[in-house]
Amino acid sequence: MATGWGSLLQDEQQLEELARQAVDRALAEGVLLRTLQEPSSSDVVSYAPFTLFPSLVPSALLEQAYAVQMDFNMLVDAVSQNAAFLEQTLSSTIKRDNFTARLFNIYKQVLKEGIAQTVFLGLNRSDYMFQRNADGSPVLKQIEINTISASFGGLASRTPAVHRHVLNVLSKTKEAAKILSNNPSKGLAQGITKAWELYGSANALVLLIAQEKERNIFDQRAIENELLAKNIHVIRRRFEDVFEKGSLDQDRRLFMDGQEVAVVYFRDGYMPSQYSVQNWEARLLLERSCAIKCPDIATQLAGTKKVQQELSRMGVLEMLLPGQPETVARLRATFAGLYSLDMGEEGDQAITEALAAPSQFVLKPQREGGGNNLYGEEMVQALEHLKDSEERASYILMEKIEPEPFGNCLLRPGSPVRVVQCISELGIFGVYVSISACHVPPNPTTTIAILTERERRKLTATEHEM
Ligand SMILES: Nc1ncnc2c1ncn2[C@@H]1O[C@H](COP(=O)(O)OP(=O)(O)OP(=O)(O)O)[C@@H](O)[C@H]1O
Ligand SMILES: [Mg+2]
């Protein structure tokens, strides 16, 4: 696995000049974030952090990640349609994790009253790192799959031009030409378009559930712009707006400010801090509606760390994807070690192993948005504290992936240009639309999983993030 930019990293003066050029090109291309100081306004913006040089990805692993994305789309869909599996898998977690429990309560409530929409839109991102096998060959290992608010599709569409620019400045035209084009925002917009068409009302809108303070707005605008070019209008509203002004008619059609909504696209609602009492009410209203949700609450639950851990248990993939041994093998090949911390022998064993070799494990709560995982000494302290308490069931343990570090410059506003050791993560976006053959009945075992294979195959876009 070639990983470095070698002697190019030695010349400090050249790096500084390159960085100036790269930053200007990033600004010109629209690799932008709002500032920390003014997260609600686009009056002053800066560039989103990026690496000066592109990160190298072994082509075989990129191909593998593309190929398995279709399988992950199928899997997420299968999990989200399997109420018995979700209920059983999350039963211990929801006793101890209030956030997952609240999501689950909404799920149960809409299941009970009957799900109003048969079309489901999935826009997910599967994240990977590369690790070396004992024999030295590189392998792809999944970190996790994000089923709600998977971001950076928009900005990642614009970074190839920046990296080509850097290499062209260095007269490395051959290398520049090797940088693949990338356009996830187009694929994500295609998915929303398909869902909007299936909803079948020419005047209905896409409702993007947005945060008030949204630094990453340009990432979202890239998708909005694609939609507008197809004459599909997007309105951005907060949960608070939905609470105040959203309503359902007698057919459970969703209206916002008097306009009918065909598709709800969540770029909020994945963390506990994003929910007030009113926001939970608004989420329930949206879930009860017959607008197509991206994701619906079941698909959000399918993306929890606990589900990820249970999927790695022998026999589970086979149960969810019966008669598809090759799909199962492709999926399983990307799994790292994942361990339940539920009370009992299995969980005790996992804790003993993690305490004996802390550098080989990561402790993960059921959270999204980064910064919640525990490593090393912090993990040890948490495990010591948790090990005799049922609270441990709200976490999982994961094998720590050890990618090879390589030198690069991380460019971020206000930071000096210097070479640091980096590790990279590859995110592959997956897009699918599935149609449940009937309104979901109260008994989940009779849910018909779908006439949609052809539909999904046609639609599945696989684009890489970085
Ligand atoms: N098993 C692992 N081995 C090594 N690093 C890991 C592992 N799991 C997670 N990480 C690191 O922690 C980061 C966050 O982990 P993860 O994606 O599971 O959490 P998250 O809160 O869902 O993050 P995100 O905001 O990216 O969805 C990853 O991007 C990766 O850098
Ligand atoms: Mg995540």
DSSP states along 80-143: HT-HHHHHHHHHHHHHH-HHHHHHHHHHHHHHHH--S--EEEEEEEEEEEEEE-TTS-EEEEEE
- Whether 75 and 317 have beta carbons less than 8 Å apart is answered as yes
3-state secondary structure of 294: strand
Say yes or no: CB of residue 398 within 6 Å of ligand 1. Answer: yes
Say yes or no: CB of residue 141 within 6 Å of ligand 1. Answer: no
CB-based contacts of 436-440 (< 8 A; 24+ apart in sequence): 436/81, 436/115, 436/118, 436/119, 436/120, 437/118, 438/118, 439/114, 439/115, 439/116, 439/118, 440/111, 440/114, 440/115, 440/118
CB-count exposure of residue 22 (10 Å: 0-12, 13-18, 19+) = buried
**Amino acid letter, residue 242:** V
Atom of ligand 1 nearest to the CA of 143: 8
- The model's pLDDT over 57-114, given as tens digits with 9 standing for 90+, comes to 999 999 999 999 999 999 999 999 999 999 999 999 999 999 999 999 999 999 999 9
Rounded distance from Cα 261 to ligand 1 centre (Å)? 34
Question: 248 - beta bridge partners?
Answer: 254
How far, rounded to the nearest angstrom, does the alpha carbon of residue 114 sit from its chain's CA centroid?
27
Residues in the annotated binding site for Mg(2+): 144, 146, 368
- Whether 51 and 422 have beta carbons less than 8 Å apart is answered as yes
Atom of ligand 1 nearest to the CA of 372: 21
How crowded is residue 201: how many other Cβ atoms within 10 Å of its Cβ?
12
pLDDT at position 94: 96
Q: Whose CA is nearest to atom 22 of ligand 1?
A: 368
Task: Give the chain's end-to-end CA distance (angstroms, integer).
Answer: 17
Alpha-carbon torsion (262, 268, 271, 276), positive or negative: negative
pLDDT at position 370: 86
Which residues, given as ranges, of the chain have pLDDT below 70?
Answer: 1-3, 438-466
What are the distances in angstroms from CA 327 to CA 53, 68, 321, 334?
Answer: 35, 8, 8, 12
Rounded distance from Cα 143 to ligand 1 centre (Å)? 6
The first and second tokens of residue 111, run together, are 């299941």
Say yes or no: CB of residue 336 within 6 Å of ligand 1. Answer: yes
- The model's pLDDT over 35-50, given as tens digits with 9 standing for 90+, comes to 999 999 999 999 999 9
Say yes or no: CB of residue 370 within 6 Å of ligand 1. Answer: yes
pLDDT at position 445: 31
Say yes or no: CB of residue 368 within 6 Å of ligand 1. Answer: yes
- Whether 100 and 303 have beta carbons less than 8 Å apart is answered as no
Atom of ligand 1 nearest to the CA of 400: 3
Q: Whose CA is nearest to atom 31 of ligand 1?
A: 425
- For residue 361, the surrounding DSSP H or E stretch is strand 361-365
Non-local (6+) Cβ contacts of 53 within 8 A are: 5, 8, 163, 166, 167, 408, 409
d(CA 81, CA 79): 5
- Whether 464 and 185 have beta carbons less than 8 Å apart is answered as no
Atom of ligand 1 nearest to the CA of 403: 4
* Preceding omega of 295 cis (within 30 degrees of 0): yes
Residues in the annotated binding site for substrate: 125, 220
Rounded distance from Cα 332 to ligand 1 centre (Å)? 19
